[in-house]
Structure 1
Amino acid sequence: MTELRIGFIPLSDAAVLIAAAELGFAEREGLSIQLEKEASWATMRDKLAFGVIDAAHLLAPLAIASSLGLGPTPSARLTVPFALHLNGNAITLSMRLWEELAQPEDADPAAIAGALAEVVKRRSRAGAAPLTLATVFPYSTHTFLLRHFLQPAGIDLDRDIRLTVVPPPYTAEALKIGAIDGFCVGSPWNNVAVASGTGRIVAIGPELVPDAPDKVIAWPEGRLDEVAAGRLIRALKLSGEWCASPANHPELASLLAEPRHIGVEAAILMNTLRGRLPVRLGGPVKATEAYLRFGGEVHRPSMEQARWTYREMVAAGQIADAPETERAALAVYRPDLFDRAVAEDRWSPG
């Protein structure tokens, strides 16, 4: 049995990894996965870079950034052979700010962003401090989604808003105590803020960027040999198919709800898995099966996903566009490893 230490952040999109480790999919492939729960992406990046863990549930843009040597940690060339999901994020504002916007319950994200732009202008004219919005890490799909939400309304994320970083499991509490005015994060933390009565979801990921790439499995280049890599990819693929089935969602929600995993009520997790999100406590529900996608081709780390991520990093001013930089960024993604592992698959999910 090959033992692997794999880090994860308490998020619904870690479901495929958690289920693979806990429900026998890894064992079928001769793997024993030791899950290591972390709160922040910075810690996860550092543990990967210094070889403390073998692989990680990781932000796709962070995998590219680390490989390009961006940030304070020494450059760590990473391999991305598996995409964990598509979508799964949302933008939530404090109830105080939502009430100030004075928007109807059925307002779409564009209308809400327009009203937010007016609040930003009023605060600027009054000499008030700018609104503080949180992302989970600079190199993240969440940062890009905030830009897609705000920029069409004329809000400059670098000039008009104070953008800060809050680790995912702390976002709802940061909103509750007034440390931030809103955030973009993966489920279930938007739903936790709603359930506490302190947050109002104003946009979900698919409304801003349909099928946005987000989290991946990554490991330092060469850390896993070809045999171990194939086994892990196959175990995750099987788990992804199992997680995608609505019939398995009650069991999955209960598994994720355990304190050693996400530690949030199973009912809240069921809502995220079913794509039924109350936008505020006692309020209407946004419903879409595309909210958090697992299974099938979702898990193949395609070049299209890599290019989208690279272009968003360029648009955000995080990297300068250059042919050699693009080649290095795209090389992080390894659909060839995924394809080879899947071609050897001999199991089917039960």
Structure 2
Amino acid sequence: MVSIEILSLPTVPSPVNGTSNPCNVSDEATPSPHVATTCPPNAVDGSTLSLDIAQSEGADELTTTGSPSTVISANKPTAMDVDDTGVSSTTEAEPKPKKNDNRPTLADTLKGPEELRKDKAAKKTQWKVEMPKPLAADLHAIDKLFEDGRPRWEVLSAHLTAAKPFALPIAKFSVVLETGQVLVRTPPAQILQSFVRDHGNLIIAELFEAGEICHLSKLPGDNLRLLVTEEEVCQKLTHEKVTFLDNQYSLREFDILGSRFFLDIFGIGPELSTMNVASALHRLGCDVLYENFREAVASKRLAMSTWRVYFRSASCPGQPIVGGKVCEQICIEGRYYLARGKASPLPVDRLRMGQRSPHCLLLPVKNP
């Protein structure tokens, strides 16, 4: 038996009848069968209460001795002791968080080298330089044409076009890539592969996707040439930088006359008016587009004696052709001047002074 003395117990007025209840027990609460309440209605402040706590095997009881005395069961809390309206009787166990294990499994480890080999094979195929091969079905179809008899060209050309994996568009405009003689001994396949893979230029990448760059070739002696589909593409590529074969090169400024045919006449001096020569070519039937001296310093107005005339056409017109080839000599007022057309080979035998060539063009020039 444990005895607890309470010196003072506060008085709480009852909300029903306005009386004071020193035990702070609501009048509306239903008394428990285990609780015996003996509280006088008019308990004075300062009265001494004694609480006896008796423990037993069946139930624990809290007993007040003295005046007043209250026996309260320890098993069930009263309304003044505990407000358990928001307390749950049972507590659910929280699930344990799952551990994130990012370590690769054995299957991932074994799959890694296989995926790496596939990636390398795909990249190697993407930049591989070779002749595109036709499908077996297309080749058999062409064989069948010849087995049935020699086909007409219209039929054969349609099958030949269909057998190609891709068709190149027609490209007439050229842009020069200034590489010098660095790539003279470099194989064309190596140049093409590195240019497509390592160029590092956004404009060229867009032109590749649009199919506007169609051809890459080595010029005689030095430099490379790009063939594109439109003149506007040439202007886009002016002074652009291109990286391949561990070096960076620049694209030359677009030559607006580069696609036109020209004729060079050597030894033209100040005694002969170039406008009169151009007039004679015009009367001959040539469409003259532009004429000027080939080498000149514009700031000093000084030029060499090689005169160049451009025509509207991309190839040589019919008038300057003599004996089945472009004229290699022009006779003006009884004087012979050497001439050479665009992309014409050098003459095998050099003509002596005053010697007439079998491919000489007689050009009547009218002086003012």
User: Of the two, which has the highest radius of gyration?
Assistant: 2
Which protein has the bigger helix share?
1
* TM-score tier (shorter): under 0.3
Q: Provide the TM-score with structure 1 as the length reference.
A: 0.23
Q: Which has the higher contact order (CA 8 A, sep 6+)?
A: 1
Q: Provide the TM-score with structure 2 as the length reference.
A: 0.22
